[in-house]
A and B are shown apart, each in its own frame.
Chain A
Amino acid sequence: MKTMTKLWATAAICGAVLSGRAFADPHPDAELIIEGELHIATRAEPPEHLGGVLPEIYSGWLFRTDETRELQMDDFDNPGMLFAERGEDRWELAEGTANQSCADCHGTVDSLAGVRAVMPKVNENGELWSLQNYINNCRTERMGADAWGWNSEPMKDVTSLISLQSRGMPVAVKIDGEAAEFWEKGREMYYTRFGQLELSCANCHEDNWGRMIRADHLSQGMSNGFPTYRLKNASIVPLHQRFRGCIRDTRGESFAEGSQEFRELELYVASRGLGLPIEGVSVRQ
């Protein structure tokens, strides 16, 4: 009897392993509808520059559990909204030697609708800037205030608020013209193996998405949900912090948040998700 049970167990395990990708595919038909009103597409045609390496592009939302997906479908339940709400207070707060707030120049925050969807982008001096760079430039140059740390609470609050204004708008980063050289470097980094485990971004998110890596369900590594509320951190996680975590997991020395390397990677990763809507503050595991 005992042997029989063991045999059955082995058969079950083999079945699970053999079915491979199908065992852990993204959810086949879940639809992201926020508050029963706002439909957000989580599947899209892959951009041309990918050359067919992905059959379809999927939001990371589709790879999460039922419970985690549900959290994002209700703004009251989405813990990321607490950050965006605090961001509203900060938006109005006059600071620095100029005693100015974000609102003094930009008016209401919905004037920044669409901004998150085109980040990172090349600024007027030909540098590639992320949203955080633009915010800190406003703070130091216009307000005469201190720059915020990349992963600081106020930066998380305000980037969450600004991202929310672009919720539902497709990722639309520019990758040609002045941006082309940055995009090319980001692309090179995406395919470069890092760390003692010699893993590139592509090894997990292009070659093995849909499979399990230990207890984690590998997504395609799309960035349209960032900044994202991660249940594991009980906080908003900016994209560069996630990059850092990924490189750490390869047992490599990471680049710093806000570094040139990460901004280039941010551009390339965003371009893999061209067409997927911004999810504002998403919720992930």
Chain B
Amino acid sequence: MSDVRPRIRLPRSANAGDVIEVKTLISHNMETGLRRDGSGNAIPRQIINRFTCEYAGKLVVDVTMEPAISANPYMEFDVQVDESADFVFTWYDDDGSVYSETQSFEVS
């Protein structure tokens, strides 16, 4: 059962030039590296260390994330949409995994 799952929410519709609210969340433990297990061994750090969003091929946000960020990191930001285009969301995991989601968005 995969615990890591990205989620995106975009508004249903928008006009060209509107500023829309984008919500993203990825379910992830965000293990800080500061905790120890039952036998006293350090649990290695494993967090999502970077999140990016591109719209129409342009970088909209690029976030460096640190261990203090809680589990299931939630990001909300505004994007001005001038044309119908693809949103590409990417999360980078400490273990090298890259999770990516693409959603096309239509403006009227």
Contacts and interface: CB of A to CB of B under 8 A. Distances in A.
B35 interface: no
A76 interface: yes
Interface in B8-32: 9, 23, 25, 27
Interface stretch (A82-90, A142-150, A187-195): A82-90
Contacts of A79: 72
Contact of A93 (B1, B7, B27, B70): B1
A213 interface: no
A239 to B, nearest CB: 23
B78 to A, nearest CB: 16
A85 B5 contact: yes
A205 B7 CA distance: 38
Contacts of B1: 86, 89-90, 93
B71 interface: yes
Interface size class of A (residues with CB under 8 A): 10 to 19
Interface in B24-66: 25, 27
A234 interface: yes
Nearest to B71: A234
A93 B1 CA distance: 9
A229 B25 CA distance: 17
A100 to B, nearest CB: 17
B71 to A, nearest CB: 7
A90 B1 CA distance: 8
Contact of A76 (B3, B23, B27, B70): B23
Nearest to B8: A76
Interface of A: 76-77, 79, 82, 85-86, 89-90, 93, 234
